[in-house]
Structure 1
Amino acid sequence: MAEAATWDALAAEATVLGLELLGGMQKGEGTLLLYGPDPARFWRVLQASPEAHAPDPIDRWSARVLTALARDLGGTALFPFGTPRQPFMTWATGTGACHVSPVGLLVHRTQGLNVSFRGAIRVPRRIVLPAPGPSPCVGCPAPCTTACPVLALTSDGYDLPACHAWLDDPRNDCMARGCAVRRACPASPPRPDAQAAHHMAAFHPC
């Protein structure tokens, strides 16, 4: 598949693995491909994997799966964790598939404010990329700007102490279901509560 891989074929292969091909950009004579969790499949695939009950299961799973995929494509896997630090935010906006939302978070046309990256693969050849679509924020009434119960994340910036204080409040449902701002985005597909809780626990350890 490596030499004949098209965008559609790569996207289909990513889905089988529990990933979504979120965007791509030309880098010199090569192509950089960005991968994130498939909202419908990722958590189920992870829970059935050898990494499910290991420390840092998501990073371990990502390293194994994307390293193997990169090898099949004749490319190199790059990750948003470990060292050296990679410029995933710059890459994400550079693909044209991600945009800056009214609350300053990245937003993606199919993943909304829940967009995240498990890794990237740099392949040493040019792949024809689909034209990037418009931001899902165009025409949106921006419920994200008022969704936070303590207004920690708005168009004016991010009040991190207020966010953490709210997560300590027993009235919050963000720890169990995920950030209310991200959930408010009409473009954000639903994901399992267990997945959201895992990420929130990493962000705000009890």
Structure 2
Amino acid sequence: MSGELINQIASDLASHGLILRGGFSFAAEEERAAGPSGAPARSVLLVGNAGAGYWRHFSLWRETRPLNLPNPLDTWSRLVIGEVADRVGARLIMPNDRPFAPFQQWAIRAEGLAPSPLGLLMHPVYGLWHAYRGALLFDRELAFPLLEKPIHPCDLCDGKPCLNTCPVDAFSPGVFDYAGCVAHVRGRMGYACRNAGCLARNACPVGSSWRYPAAVKAFHQAAFAGL
């Protein structure tokens, strides 16, 4: 039954350009978010995107909404993933919902990924061109295949071009200069970062075929920098 349910969810999400990003069942003794019944959830499925397959669906929806709608991508994601959650009796939580759920830790657990030097999770196929848009919590355990930890591409990367490309050196091991990055993106010299996306992220050679188009990168940069 778990396989049929997961396949149905995957099919429903695909109609919006979204994908399942793996999942797992919680251990009984660990702290858990509430499931749809209000009791601690027993399983979680992560929802997101790889590449910009969602962009066409989101853009068509956005054309019918006010231009000044705040947080349009989060609003759209909540709407379409919420419809799927309702159909399968799951509880939807979003990365920006409070109290914040540990999405990055869940993603590491669900897909076996590890952070890149930029802090973003590195995927062996998608590179840095993927995201998590929501999570579906269930009151029952779901069956998941045994996860084999993938090779971490950053371990094989010579030179780490992502750390040598940022025009304001915002990235160093374990540190991200958020204020310096935002100031540059907003400033006179930040045109390339605003319109072509983070130059450090673009420098990564992994998953280049999944790289977001310029319009998508510019949208995310504007949201990041509050433009």
TM-score, L = length of structure 1:
0.85
Larger Rg: 2
Counterpart position of 1:95? 110
Q: Equivalents in 2 of 1:38, 1:72: separation in Å?
A: 23
Displacement of 1:32 after TM fit?
Answer: 1.1
Q: Equivalents in 1 of 2:219, 2:120: separation in Å?
A: 20
One-letter amino acid of the counterpart of residue 177, structure 2: D
8 Å Cα contact 1:25-1:129 kept in structure 2: no
Q: Equivalents in 2 of 1:156, 1:121: separation in Å?
A: 30
Partner of residue 81 from structure 1, selected from 90, 96, 111: 96
Counterpart position of 2:219? 198
Which 5+ residue runs of structure 1 have no aligned equivalent? none
Deviations 1:150-193 (A, max 9, x none): 21113252122321232113354111121112222223421122
Counterpart position of 1:14? 13
Q: Equivalents in 2 of 1:36, 1:94: separation in Å?
A: 15
Q: Equivalents in 2 of 1:41, 1:103: separation in Å?
A: 23
One-letter amino acid of the counterpart of residue 58, structure 2: L
Matched, 1:125 2:144: no
Matched, 1:136 2:153: yes
Partner of residue 176 from structure 1, selected from 189, 195, 202: 195
User: Tell me, what secondary structure is at the counterpart of 2:211?
Assistant: coil
Q: Equivalents in 2 of 1:9, 1:110: separation in Å?
A: 24
C-alpha root-mean-square deviation of aligned residues, in Å? 2.6
8 Å Cα contact 1:24-1:31 kept in structure 2: yes
TM-score, L = length of structure 2:
0.78
Matched, 1:155 2:176: no
CA change 1:110–1:89 in 2 (3 A) is same
Displacement of 1:86 after TM fit?
Answer: 1.6
Counterpart position of 1:146? 164
Q: Equivalents in 2 of 1:110, 1:97: separation in Å?
A: 13
One-letter amino acid of the counterpart of residue 18, structure 1: G
Matched, 1:68 2:83: yes
